[in-house]
Amino acid sequence: MKIILLGAPGAGKGTQAEKMSEKLNIPAISTGFIIRQAIADKTEIGIMAKEYIDKGLLLPDEVVIKLLLERLEKDDCKNGYILDGFPRTIAQAEALVTNNIFIDKVVDIELADERIVERLSGRRECSECGKTYHVAYHKPSVDGKCDACGAPLKRRKDDEPETIKNRLAVYHKQTEPLKEYYIKKGLLVAVDSQEEVAKTTDKVFEAMGVKL
């Protein structure tokens, strides 16, 4: 099964992608994570990407498309995957079509802008494995440490209040039109993001018609 998770930054895509990955036993692929790794590794793309990501801007389509297609070549993708944070523009969605990648479902996770600001400013991310947490809504078992790998949690630079505003504006302008795009293809289901992670997950599977 190939699934796209759509939604504004901070609506809970990443967390849901992890849950779905566990339950469906297919990898969750986050372009944001791939990009942050490239930045940490100081690759050529990483050095270029830093300027965009820190400002809350999208990377050029051709760069992200290349990174994503490379990732999808890997063995673990052969039974399907969950795309978290890709596509983010119509051009990226069209790239899936031209590469003969057929998507089964697009899940849009919705949350009002005011709530997004609150969520993103409390978000913390594992410095090693990229798992995300929230200071109020999704705490790790040990304060400041990742449940999965024990590495320290930190706030992402693009989760600073000024950058959050930019990311939201970018989302509304460049990514939100994808809702209409996938409605027209008959693939979109929408879910309201709930306070509780597990509740959102239940709603996602219900909306997708997947029985567990």
List residues with catalytic annotation.
13, 88, 123, 156, 167
Report the nearest approach of Zn ion to the CB of residue 16 (Å): 18
- Smallest separation (angstroms) from ligand ADP to the CB of 140: 18
Q: How far apart are CA 41 and CA 85, in angstroms?
A: 21
Applying the rule CB under 6 A, the residues between 94 and 153 that interact with ligand ADP are none
Residue 200 touches which member of ligand ADP, Zn ion, none, C-beta under 5-8 Å by kind: none
Q: Which one-letter amino acid corresponds to residue 59? A: L
Strand order in the sheet with 153-154: 132-134, 123-126, 153-154
Please answer whether residues 107 and 200 qualify as being in contact, where contact means their C-beta atoms are separated by less than 8 angstroms.
no
Question: Which tokens is 96 given?
Answer: 């899936």
* Residue from 6, 28, 29, 56 binding ligand ADP (CB under 6 A): 56
Assess 72 for contact with ligand ADP (CB under 6 A).
no
Q: By CB under 5 A, is residue 142 in contact with Zn ion?
A: no
Enumerate residues 168-187 that contact ligand ADP by CB under 6 A: none
Enter the tokens of residue 181: 């795009």
Shortest separation between residue 150's beta carbon and Zn ion, angstroms: 7
Q: Rule CB under 6 A: say whether 6 interacts with ligand ADP.
A: no
The end-to-end CA distance of the chain, in Å, is 15
Candidates 37-45, 109-117, 135-143, 148-156; binding stretch for Zn ion (CB under 5 A): 148-156
Q: How far is residue 88's CA from residue 157's CA, in Å, rounded to a whole number?
A: 20
